[in-house]
Amino acid sequence: MTNYQFPKDFYWGSASSGPQSEGRYENDGKGDNIWDLWYKEQPELYFNTIGPEKTSQAYTHIKEDVALLKATGHNSFRTSIQWSRLIPEGRGAINPAAVKFYNELIDELLANDIEPFINLYHFDMPVVLQKEGGWENRKTIDAYVAYATACFELFGDRVKKWFTHNEPIVPVEGGYLYGFHYPHEVSFKAAVQVGYHEMLASAKAIAAYRALGKIGEIGIILNLTPSYARDENNPSDVKAAQFADGFFNRSFLDPSVLGEYPADLIDDLRSADVLPSYLVEDLEIIKNNTVDLLGINYYQPRRIQARENPHEWSVPMPEDFFETYDMPNKKINPYRGWEIYEKGIYDTLTNIRENYGNIPCYISENGMGVEDESRFIDKQGQINDDYRIEFVSEHLKYVHQAITEGSNVRGYHMWTFIDNWSWLNAYKNRYGFVSLDLENDGKRTIKKSGHWYKKVSENNGFEE
């Protein structure tokens, strides 16, 4: 029997987001964001045509949901403020109904000894700003910093953990390379410009937070997907993996933590003629406004080999520099098609310890989506999701190993608390500690994993 004991004051919790959980209601004052717009334009793209108005109804279930957080062992919880809810036009007037909602949520969390971790941007660009170019437009940075400052002023007396972006590489990939987010364009150069503007916006928001003199920490949440070369002894494979790591991970990790962009990535982007437009003074802003705290989302590794065949696109793409390697005999989550590789979370934390000053960090997302979980309902109406317990515990073992070796990791948040709406996938895959019954007025029922997690939190660890 091994005892996996975690440090005192370890953060146990889960993560969600405003656009995936709040929903829309008559007279709630929320403006449209890009998901509302895309659903109006092409509802058939969404799984079972379920749009962003049909989320897990967090807007009307504050007390019930916080009670469920408590019942599943949470001492912390991460969600996001919706830009399009707080400032419906993206800039200008603040929506008083939104202020009331977020105040009630924050106060209820604190009343139950649950630390709120609040993220500012989770893929929910207001439509007014998107029509002006979204993150391609440098003016969006100013609107974002004004929005962030409003959040700090409204809620910063109680919220002590802030994050500028969740997974900023995803709008780059989804919106401007691979078509799974709006505006579903394909432009390597636009993608790089979007990523640069997101990074500069993050640094400027950090500067604004510190200028207010609030007592708290501010960071960024990155999905760090380790890139493994097919053959570590093949220089071409290693170089390809280095590019993938640079583009998908270090493009935000290095400037956020170290204050500078990686030189090899700059060289690669220059060779592809896709370097972003920037001002020299931007680089000082980025250098002087690094993060206090790093959130790490980990789901799967990236397997990489040197490019052997022309890629399928007729335009320049990141894939000019690498190819995905389909490693045989890998463990797969068949519902998402993602590799399950628990050691990747340890490798990521070790990298942060060895190469990024061992900055305080926490696992901000890690989870397993499964289709048709109703197959596993027992006679008492509980979903027996032993596969989720196994997934979380196996990852936690590697987090524990990283801690014993000195990694400064301070918490673990699973994705997600209640089964939530997930972009074009809607409710195809379920991730929660708590099941959601859409056909029964959003009824919530704790799954077996939620009861297990409460015990883990109460014991600050587990034995196995």
Catalytic residues: 365
Measuring CA to CA, which residue among 159, 252, 277, 235 is closest to residue 198?
252
Question: Could you tell me if 311 and 320 are in contact, meaning their C-beta atoms sit under 8 angstroms apart?
Answer: yes
- CA-CA distance, 133 to 111, in Å (whole number)? 41
Q: 76-80 and 115-119 as β-strands: parallel, antiparallel, unpaired?
A: parallel
In this structure, what are the phi and psi dihedrals at residue 40, rounded to the nearest 5 degrees? -65, -35
Largest CA distance in the chain: 64
Torsion of CA 393, 396, 398, 400, to 10 degrees: -130
**CA 452, CA 463: separation in Å to the nearest integer?**
12
Asked if 410 and 10 count as a contact pair (C-beta separation under 8 A), the reply is yes
Q: Three-state SS for 373? A: helix
Q: Hey, is 219 helix, strand or coil? A: strand
Those residues whose C-beta lies under 8 Å from the C-beta of residue 111, and which sit 6 or more positions away, are none
> Over the Cα atoms of the chain, what is R_g?
21
Contact 80, 22 (CB under 8 A): no
Cβ atoms of 406 and 353 within 8 Å: the answer is: yes
* Count of Cβ atoms closer than 10 Å to residue 44 Cβ: 6
The single residue listed with the structure tokens 């050691």 is 343
Q: Beta partners for 14?
A: 77, 414
- What is the phi-psi region of residue 105: left when phi exceeds 0, alpha when psi lies from -120 to 50, beta otherwise? alpha
C-beta separation of 452 from 389 below 8 A: yes
**Encoded amino acid at 175, one letter:** G
CB 14 within 8 A of CB 365: no
Interhelix angle 448-459/62-71, nearest 10 degrees:
60
